[in-house]
Structure 1
């Protein structure tokens, strides 16, 4: 692997951005970038599907199109690349971009395994970049930022009990796409590819996890991976959480609830939230203090891609590593690996159990399907 090209310093104007992959998720990236014209300029798109590439370029007025990533990097010299391809392609594409001196914003999950994610992080350029950030946009809505601010200020007291449930529905036809539902190309089922957003948000609110005990099942779908997982997760701060990830739930919902000493905070939504999706219930005796702090907090930003993209662009223009850093995304990936390791080994798992000697470090299924 080549050493990343030396960083040329922070962009002096709008960040030159390229997108790799022009499928449905790339649309959200392009819309976010187009809404920030003073911060970003889309210079190119890459896709092996020439029809999809042409349609994407036309829709978003992208000046250049390529079917080869290396050629695009060499000719366009983007400062940031949004990687919006299936998970099995992420590592090679991210490393190619970093090697060419471009920072990367990669869709979730960033890699198929902890080992891959660590190698991608090792390809970063250090303090001056280029850097890799992962799309975990739910951290950036004003509701989540308000909860973190109140928790850090001590207004809510200690977190005690939490629930993090991603209960969605995907029919069997959804998995007819060849790369879906397979360990080799998707890395896992709903724990890896769907509930990871909610799990990342939970970790951003509660901090380091210390132990997980889990089960995984194939309840209804004919796939290699699980379609359901359930876990108990312990946190360093003393909280304990139930985590459910499902693709067999006809009534779809994404829910996080945290019972702090002085209030219950609850988020109920589906694929993204606004301020109206949050609710706070103060404990008796704390109504005035908690309500005043809640109403006086940050408001007005939903959890769409724009919230994170704007912060990524601002960080790059300021010469600093963009959020969510590789270290932070590794913490979330480590919890995903912990769920699988616990489920397939039938025992509690800690972060220390997931080092290079663990089979779950190199593959989320531990090297073989356990059904």
Structure 2
């Protein structure tokens, strides 16, 4: 594969709040490495407003001259961008990502990258495994210096063996939030807070602790009149022996995002809401390590203080493009997080533990996060699952 150009030509797909509020500042901050040349949106008024916004420099960086398109295929054909950043509703992610990959563009897509493991594997099949292009998911909480430092300490054994962990995304969303037509539906959002909200903290938990082996989940639809859940919980066992609890909620007036890992020699805890800096990470030494001042000081003092952000992740992605290597947050690494969520749903809906690797083609939870379960799936999906099962039984 040819080396990436010195300055990457980028395009955005979708020009709503997440793109204008997070992706555009990230592109401005890295304007010495990337140029925003095009934007796609089916809403011409919103597209025009975004182009005007992008053209004006601000405190985050310079302005961009952006050509507008209402059709993704037309943009890909005319512009041939090196990188496509996708910020559309989740049901569009699979098709838009595949189209960009097939046009030769790398992709950075908002979470979730797609709605099911089946869709994820379709995206993987469209990648070029020998140097890209690759598709990455926006998991920006991995990329702040505090997260990088914590992972280095945990994986290097500096805190002792990880033993017990907690992962909490307890947020609040009212009925107006779910008045947006695509929210709360399996076919457009892919799930509830497990897919749309807690995915960031669960991904960070897996990033810190590594492979999971078993999950036992519960889910409830306690307040909101939606297809998917509004709260989920899980017990998780990791390959390294650690055990964790996970809570995802949109019913919690006191909003917080939290990860805590108790290791043999120290506890590391992150408490924040939508982003973190070094100050949000707290290290508490175990009684037998409190006298080791130099060791404790190393835990608490990362060399840099880079907040978690879209810009932090985009910088790493641009490095990967330059080097022609798979970026973090893509491939098997990102698939692990989606498989974890599918397993949480399967365990919650079937009432039994689910093990890593068991959701494969032929499993109903591979094709849909609701798995066709009669208490959770839309009526049409339940009928389709029953018909498929009946056909399979006849063939056997």
TM-score (norm 1): 0.96
Structure 2 counterpart of 1:42:
36
Matched, 1:171 2:193: no
Identify which of 311, 315, 320 aligns with 1:315.
320
Identify which of 68, 86, 89 aligns with 1:86.
89
Matched, 1:272 2:275: yes
Rounded Cα–Cα distance in structure 1 between residues aligned with 2:294 and 2:202? 29
Rounded Cα–Cα distance in structure 1 between residues aligned with 2:80 and 2:203? 32
Identify which of 186, 190, 197 aligns with 1:183.
186
Report the secondary structure of 1:352's partner residue: coil
Structure 2 counterpart of 1:262:
265
**What is the deviation of 1:299?**
2.8
Structure 1 counterpart of 2:150:
147
Rounded Cα–Cα distance in structure 1 between residues aligned with 2:218 and 2:344? 8
Matched, 1:244 2:237: no
Structure 1 counterpart of 2:10:
17
**What is the deviation of 1:65?**
0.4
Rounded Cα–Cα distance in structure 2 between residues aligned with 1:185 and 1:368? 17
**What is the deviation of 1:296?**
4.4
Tell me if structure 1 keeps the 8 A contact 2:154–2:209: no
Tell me if structure 2 keeps the 8 A contact 1:263–1:290: no
**What is the deviation of 1:369?**
4.8
Task: Return 5+ residue gaps in structure 2 as ranges.
Answer: 56-64, 377-396
Structure 2 counterpart of 1:325:
330
Rounded Cα–Cα distance in structure 1 between residues aligned with 2:5 and 2:124? 26
Rounded Cα–Cα distance in structure 2 between residues aligned with 1:265 and 1:334? 26
Structure 2 counterpart of 1:128:
131
Identify which of 356, 362, 369 aligns with 1:357.
362
Tell me if structure 1 keeps the 8 A contact 2:278–2:302: no
- Could you list the runs of 4 or more consecutive aligned residues of structure 1 that deviate by over 6 angstroms after TM superposition? none
**What is the deviation of 1:289?**
4.6
Tell me if structure 1 keeps the 8 A contact 2:155–2:208: no
Identify which of 372, 380, 391 aligns with 1:367.
372
Tell me if structure 2 keeps the 8 A contact 1:224–1:369: no
Rounded Cα–Cα distance in structure 2 between residues aligned with 1:296 and 1:25? 32
Identify which of 206, 210, 228 aligns with 1:203.
206
Tell me if structure 2 keeps the 8 A contact 1:39–1:314: no
Task: Return 5+ residue gaps in structure 1 as ranges.
Answer: 1-6
**What is the deviation of 1:319?**
1.8
**What is the deviation of 1:275?**
1.0
| 1:79-106 deviations in Å (ceiling 9; x for gaps) | 0000111110001100100111111111
| 1:150-186 deviations in Å (ceiling 9; x for gaps) | 1233210100000000000000110111100000110
Rounded Cα–Cα distance in structure 2 between residues aligned with 1:236 and 1:152? 13
Tell me if structure 1 keeps the 8 A contact 2:137–2:334: yes
**How many residues were matched structurally?**
364
Between structure 1 and structure 2, the one with the greater Rg is 2
Tell me if structure 1 keeps the 8 A contact 2:161–2:264: yes
Report the secondary structure of 1:354's partner residue: coil
Rounded Cα–Cα distance in structure 2 between residues aligned with 1:216 and 1:234? 18
Report the secondary structure of 1:118's partner residue: helix
Matched, 1:77 2:70: no
| 1:324-369 deviations in Å (ceiling 9; x for gaps) | 1121110000000010000000000012321112110110000245
TM-score (norm 2): 0.90
Rounded Cα–Cα distance in structure 1 between residues aligned with 2:81 and 2:3? 12
**What is the deviation of 1:306?**
0.7
Report the secondary structure of 1:172's partner residue: coil
Structure 2 counterpart of 1:304:
309
Structure 1 counterpart of 2:394:
none
